[in-house]
Amino acid sequence: MILRKLVFSLSIYLTRNKTMSSENDGGIAGDIDRESEREGGRDMEHAKCKLCEYTGCGNYKFTEIMNFVSENVNEVHIDELCSQVKQSLQEHLSLTLSHKQIKTHFLYHQCDQKIILNNILRELVPLVSVARCNCVVTQENATTIDPKSMTMYLDTVKQVMGIYKHLDAMKGYRK
């Protein structure tokens, strides 16, 4: 029941705030990725991914571009990074890739822990707000706190804090 309420609240949240994909194609952010997953084309996409082909090739410019993403993913949204990478690949390596292809490479092929954790963190933040709103229940001029919703909210906050701690630990490890 609580999960249904949370999903319904999240869908209302996304509708109200019109969280759309960066390509502004009218889909909710992430729909393209989920459609691609449903198609079961992950192995096929990997086999023809130009970025996977270039990985480990020793090209200095390519390595520099890929390192830029890993170093800046905690400060810049993955969609903006993909736009910048798309432009740099075109300019420096004459590679023409779509935004979707680049994002798929980072999220599903490369699987850099820092990129994945930052993406999960960005997905959890709206859930925390929705969970918090579901904690307070108002019925007939009486306001109460739903203990199950409060527990779910606190668990979600705990998960977010765990990701932040892990990312902070990674900063010290990589430098």
- pLDDT, tens digit, 9 for 90 and up, residues 14-50: 444 443 333 433 333 444 444 444 344 445 455 688 8
In degrees and rounded to multiples of 5, residue 86 shows phi and psi of -55, -45
Alpha-carbon span 109 to 54, nearest angstrom: 12
Q: Residue 118 — very low, low, confident or very high, per pLDDT cuts 50/70/90? A: confident
Closest-CA residue to 69 (of 87, 54, 77, 81): 81
Q: 130 or 20: which carries more pLDDT confidence?
A: 130
Q: Which residues make Cβ contacts (< 8 Å) with residue 101, sequence separation at least 6?
A: 49, 50, 51
Question: How many residues are listed for the chain in this entry?
Answer: 175
Work out the mean pLDDT of the chain and round it to a whole number: 76
> Is the whole-model pTM more than 0.75?
no
**Helix, coil or strand: residue 30:** coil
Place of tokens 């996977």: 52
Count of alpha carbons within 13 angstroms of residue 14, beta-carbon side: 18
Q: How many CB atoms lie within 10 A of CB 12?
A: 12
